[in-house]
A = this chain, B = another copy of it.
Amino acid sequence: MSFTHTIAQRAASIDSCVCVGLDPDLNKLPRHLPRDAAGVTEFLLHVIDATAGIACAFKPNLAFFGALGVGGLEVLAHVRRNIPSDTPVILDFKAGDIGNTAERYADMAFDVIGADAVTVNPYMGFDAVRPFLRPGRCAFVLCLTSNKSSADLQHLPVDGRPLYTVTAEIVNRWSSHGECGLVVGATHPDELEEIRKTSPTLPFLIPGVGTQGGDAEAVVRRGSFPGGGGILINASRGILYASDGEDFADAAMKAAEDLRAATSGLPQGV
């Protein structure tokens, strides 16, 4: 079963395209938890437990685990093992390196951590993406990102069209068996709709709602497959740090539920 089909089934079964980003920042943990690996683990396991029924996927970001110290990968692997097996896990680390190195990153992501999908940077070309193309997995390739300086390169004019449109076209060619997706930020709704038109079958991972200001309802309307579905809307800080008190897990659930509700009733399935 393709990854697109996996997330379509899950989205339909729980009426949610919400992806819960797991970016554990020691400076933002609930006040009563210790600022260390044990505190992070406790924090994330409670958030996962509280949001499991709403999360179409979870997306841990490697940076936040690497910054914990040399035990960071162990925390990440432990957290991943506590995510229910019916919920896909996207390891977000924007990999981009030459072929033999990308193979080691694929080993790390899929075998060491147990991820189902990854994020990948397109700048080095297909060599750097191919090792992640495994049946049933997904490589979400950066296309148009949610940050302000995305324009520095992504809007450069290539034969009169912005680079991100060319990136999208190239990724469509790379995804010969449906193993690629695109990362398109919620902060660019017009461009999101334009990219969807030229990429009618690629799943989109869409960060940038909540803290970064994107509008979830507009994202579903303009980013979904023509028949609905095909998107994961990620929120990280807005869910994780909805409260810094002892009610953090309830607050996370409520924030995830608010995001789900904002997109409910709109077509989610295949």
Q: Chain A residues in contact with chain B, CB under 8 A?
A: 23, 25, 61, 63-64, 66-74, 76-77, 92-102, 104-105, 107-108, 111-112, 121-128, 142, 145-154, 156-159, 163, 166-167, 170
Residues of B near A159 (CB, < 8 A) are 157
Q: CA A111 – CA B170 in complex, angstroms?
A: 37
A123 touches B126 (CB 8 A): no
Query: Are B125 and A123 within 8 A (Cβ)?
Result: no
Which 5 A-B pairs rank lowest in CB-CB distance, beginning with the nearest? A125-B149, A125-B152, A66-B108, A63-B104, A67-B104
Whether the Cβ atoms of B123 and A147 lie closer than 8 Å is no
Instruction: Return 28 A-B CB contacts under 8 Å, by A number.
Output: A61-B104, A63-B95, A63-B105, A67-B108, A67-B112, A69-B112, A70-B73, A70-B112, A71-B74, A92-B97, A93-B97, A94-B96, A94-B121, A94-B124, A96-B142, A122-B123, A122-B153, A123-B142, A123-B145, A124-B153, A125-B149, A127-B147, A127-B149, A127-B150, A153-B163, A156-B158, A157-B158, A158-B158
Q: Which of A101, A111, A157 has the most CB of B within 10 A?
A: A101
Contact B142 A124 (CB under 8 A): yes
Give the residue name and chain of the B residue nearest to A130 (CB): B149
Which residues of chain B are within 8 angstroms of A127 by Cβ–Cβ distance? Answer: 147-150
